[in-house]
Amino acid sequence: MSRMEPFLYREVQGFRQWHTRIILAFPPASLLFVTARQVIFHKPWGSPPASDGGLIFLTVLLTAVYFRLVTVKLVIEIRGGELGVGLRGLWKRRRIPVRQIQTAEAVTFDPVADFGGYGIRSGRGGQAYIAQGNCGVALSLNDGQKVIIGSQSAPELRKRILEVRRQVNV
């Protein structure tokens, strides 16, 4: 995938599971409480108490990790005869040459029942890249692999994949 070629299709999806954001916020929020209690109010935590510098460092680190995790986005791109899909900010993008795609079908699925949740998952239906919703495109690759790509506009993504595949095979 050349960076100079224009996108034939691009979709960016954020993760909307608010309950996950709340659960992920507990460790940094708890550590912020402990740090404030010890550094500001001079009430040591633990026996022996942790150093102020250590607590501040861990609080900053956990807060940075939290914000990194809640800003991850699923990015789907088609350009230059390749389909790229990955979690921007967290995971390396997977590149699938469209020549390797045998079939592409718009599908509906249950992310939790079929794949155990959102993100990059594996299940009985193959590998899945899901950020939100229950619609996507199921790909069958020449090597027998199955890939599900969650999309908010699955028919459009399928159409673009098939168009690029036709152009490449001509």
Give the pLDDT confidence of 29-66 residue by residue, as tens digits. 999 999 999 999 999 988 899 999 999 999 999 999 99
Tell me the mean pLDDT in the region 76-86: 93
Output the six-digit token pair for 88: 């921007």
Cα of first residue to Cα of last residue in the chain, in angstroms, is: 19
Q: Look at residue 4 in the predicted model and tell me its pLDDT.
A: 64
CA dihedral 50, 54, 60, 64 (to 10 degrees): -100
When the pLDDT of each residue in the chain is averaged and rounded to a whole number, the result is 91
The band of 9, judged by pLDDT with boundaries at 50, 70 and 90, is very high
**Under a CB-based contact definition with an 8 Å cutoff, are residues 74 and 87 in contact?**
yes
Higher confidence at residue 129 or residue 90? 129
The band of 3, judged by pLDDT with boundaries at 50, 70 and 90, is low
The whole-model pTM stands at 0.80
